[in-house]
Amino acid sequence: MVYAHETGHFASIGFAAVDAAIELDGLERRYGERVALRGVSVRLAPGATLAVLGPNGAGKTTLLRVLAGLLRPHAGTARVFGAEIPDERWKVPAQVGYLGHEPLLYRDLTARENLTYHARLHGVDRSRVREAIAAVGMERRADEPLRELSRGMVQRLAAARAVLHDPPLLLLDEPRAHLDPAAAELLEPLIGRGSGRTRVLVSHDVERALGEADVALGLRAGRQAFAGNPDPDAVRELYR
């Protein structure tokens, strides 16, 4: 087990204090006979960042989906702010912002309509919609259907959706994909290390991910290769 250091931001965003934001112990997930995750164990403190590294097919996205409560573990334990998955996964959506490969937005709705829909799902005041649109620089395009927006603009809107309900935990799967440098910088206060939120970050940009992380988890073919502060040789071995 690895425990990442604690920061002070967690108490400031309205959730009761806990010892660990994420606790995984012997986590296993299968797709039929294929093992996607096996023996994954890590413990992450509130406010810390976990970088999840590994080649394609290593199980990184599967891990995020388990933490989001979208997939059930087949063995081991998974807890998010003390809520055990799957038994208490109904507690998880309020605490998690998920930014994955799919934007989870409706192409025929406008940017504003999409965020308004998600605000209603989470019981969030509509003023948050205006704030979120402004935060990602989408004011001028907010009333256009998503199908008319560039992939980078959709990614910005997906980031706004992920933080709309002010979750203490962000699950980020290649969050800078499709973004130019200016757009990526615009999103840093929302989803970057400076947001102060607990983050699980999946990225192929290994050097940058390690630079942002308090602890790293290496996966290869679903198995845990390391958890902690790996040396460069251990990281390189993941991708061989």
Element (H, E) at 162: helix 151-163
Which amino acid is located at 19 in the chain?
D
Place of tokens 């799957």: 86
Please state, in angstroms and rounded to a whole number, the distance separating the CA atoms of residues 121 and 115. Answer: 10
Q: Please, which pLDDT band fits residue 104 given cuts at 50, 70 and 90? A: very high
Residue ranges of domains in the chain? 10-238
CB 69 within 8 A of CB 96: yes
Predicted local distance difference test score (pLDDT) of residue 35: 94
Task: Provide the pLDDT confidence category of residue 77 given band limits of 50, 70 and 90.
Answer: very high
Note whether 165 and 132 are within 8 A (CB): no
Mean pLDDT score of the chain, rounded to an integer? 91
For residue 136, what pLDDT is reported?
97
Is it the case that residue 4 has pLDDT exceeding 50? no
Q: What is the pLDDT of residues 195-240, one digit of tens each?
A: 999 999 999 999 999 999 999 999 999 999 999 999 989 999 999 8
Tell me: the pLDDT tens digits for 178-195?
999 999 999 999 999 989
pTM of the prediction? 0.90
Cα separation, 76 vs 93, in Å, equals 21
pLDDT above 90 covers a percentage of the chain that reads: 89
pLDDT computed for residue 19 by the predictor: 84
pLDDT at 150 over 60: yes
* pLDDT digit string, tens, across residues 17-51: 578 999 999 999 999 999 999 999 999 999 999 99
Confidence of residue 5 (pLDDT cuts 50, 70, 90): very low
Instruction: Report domain 10-238's class.
Output: alpha beta
Strand ranges across the sheet with 49-53: 83-85, 75-80, 22-31, 34-44, 223-228, 215-220, 49-53, 198-202, 169-173, 96-99
